[in-house]
């Protein structure tokens, strides 16, 4: 069974088309596509988010998704094969395999800048919220286990704490090249006055943006696979924790990958094995220089 995993699309139809063009060559209509959030963006209409999901739905039999922090919390679409697994569960049975999905959308509030235009956050410093989310995940994985799936796949937007979740400063070159995207994604800051001009702070060490409650959940329940995004600089990273294979699939994001070939994750599932590889949306990860200039600069 083939599974394709991506996240952090931000309503980018051009990159979605590039991905679909690569997938069409594989001619596999029974595949599953998983989108780990940030399908659209708050500054764009919901119709653009729906358009992305409709485009992806044509290349798969099952489209599994969760909303990210930039998406509406209650993200509903009328697409026949699209399933939102946020705080829910879903079973896929294909080619003799039974695959169970559970999900959690949004992101912990400590993982975003204070004034970012996001819509779906939860605060891990509030015990009642943490307990509620843990209960949702516990109920859904226990429902799945009643069906005795071959694999359990956790789909979240946020990484677990300490796994492919490090915040790294964007370089000056990236900031200049991506200024148009920063204006679209981030709210403009208030003009500085001479009396209140803040000091510029530079992070000396990376900080972790992941979720502690997700790390605890994975450590206890040990899903077979965890797919997530959110932390762009760690896109394409993989890890293994207590038997769970973890994948940050945010390498499709425009930041900071606008100037490079972006990647998607392909997982081949059999009764006995999980084979996972990242692939470039551009064939062989190569683009002619003149096309690069025209497309990305």
- What one-character-per-residue DSSP string does 187-222 give? PPPPPPPTTTPPPP---SS-EE-SBHHHHHHHHHH-
Instruction: Calculate mean pLDDT across residues 254-267.
Output: 85
Count of positions (residues) in the chain:
297
The residue among 46 and 186 whose pLDDT is bigger is 46
Instruction: Quickly list DSSP for 87-136.
Output: T-EEEEEETTEEEEEEEE-SEEGGGS-TT-----EE-TTSHHHHHHHHHH
pLDDT for the residue numbered 187:
45
Of 62, 60, 16, whose CA–CA distance to 39 is shortest? Answer: 16
Q: What is the pLDDT of residues 24-59, one digit of tens each?
A: 665 557 899 999 999 998 877 788 899 999 999 999
Helices 13-24 + 46-57 axis angle, to 10: 0
Lowest mean pLDDT among 3-12, 185-194, 277-286, 288-297: 185-194
pLDDT-derived band of residue 186, with 50, 70 and 90 as boundaries? very low
Please give the pLDDT value at position 135: 96
Per-residue pLDDT band for 190 (boundaries 50, 70, 90) equals very low
Could you tell me what percent of the chain has a pLDDT over 90? 63
Q: Is 22 helix (H, G, I), strand (E, B) or coil?
A: helix
**pLDDT of 204 over the 90 cut:** no
Per the model's pLDDT, the better-predicted residue between 287 and 199 turns out to be: 287
Neighbours of 284 (CB within 10 A): 8
- Find the mean pLDDT for residues 92-121: 91
* 280 three-state secondary structure: strand
pLDDT band with cut points at 50, 70 and 90 for residue 293: low
pLDDT (tens digit, 9 = 90+) per residue, 73-98?
A: 999 899 999 999 999 999 999 888 99
Determine how many CB atoms are found less than 10 A away from the CB of residue 48: 18
Bridge-partner residues for 35, per DSSP?
A: 6, 65
Instruction: Give the bridge partners for 89, in sequence order.
Output: 102
Which 3 state secondary structure label does DSSP give 13?
A: helix
Mean pLDDT of 198-205: 47
The pLDDT assigned to 113 comes to 83
Q: Is the pLDDT confidence value at 191 over 80?
A: no
pTM for the whole structure = 0.84
Instruction: Give the per-residue pLDDT at 26.
Output: 55
d(CA 30, CA 52): 19
Domains of the chain, CATH where assigned? 2-188+215-296 (3.60.21.10)
Q: What is the mean pLDDT of the chain?
A: 85
pLDDT of residue 285: 58
């Amino acid at each position: 069974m083939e599974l394709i995993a991506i996240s952090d699309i931000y309503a980018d139809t051009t990159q979605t088309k590039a991905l679909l063009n690569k997938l069409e060559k594989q001619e596999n209509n029974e595949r599953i596509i998983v989108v780990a959030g940030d399908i659209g963006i708050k500054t764009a209409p919901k119709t653009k988010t729906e358009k992305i999901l409709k485009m992806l739905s044509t290349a798969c039999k099952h489209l599994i998704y969760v909303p990210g922090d930039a998406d509406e919390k209650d993200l509903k679409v009328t697409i026949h094969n699209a399933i939102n697994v946020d705080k829910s569960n879903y079973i896929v049975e294909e080619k003799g395999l039974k695959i169970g999905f559970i999900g959690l959308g949004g992101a912990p509030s400590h993982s975003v800048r204070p004034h970012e235009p996001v819509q779906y956050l939860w605060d891990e410093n509030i015990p009642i919220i943490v307990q509620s989310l843990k209960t949702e995940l516990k109920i859904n994985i226990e429902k799945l286990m009643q069906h005795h799936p071959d694999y359990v796949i956790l789909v979240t937007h946020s990484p677990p704490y300490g796994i492919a979740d490090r915040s790294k400063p964007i370089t000056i070159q990236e900031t200049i090249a991506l200024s148009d995207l920063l204006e679209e994604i981030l709210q403009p800051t208030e003009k500085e006055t001479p009396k209140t001009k803040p000091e510029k702070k530079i992070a000396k060490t990376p900080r972790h943006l992941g979720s502690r409650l997700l790390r605890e959940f994975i450590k206890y329940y040990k899903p077979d696979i965890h797919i997530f995004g959110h932390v762009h600089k760690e896109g394409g990273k993989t890890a293994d924790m207590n038997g769970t294979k973890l994948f940050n699939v945010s390498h499709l994001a425009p930041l900071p990958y606008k100037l490079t070939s972006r990647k998607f994750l392909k997982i081949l599932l059999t009764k006995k094995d999980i084979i996972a590889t990242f692939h470039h949306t551009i064939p062989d990860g190569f683009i002619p220089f003149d096309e690069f200039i025209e497309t990305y600069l």
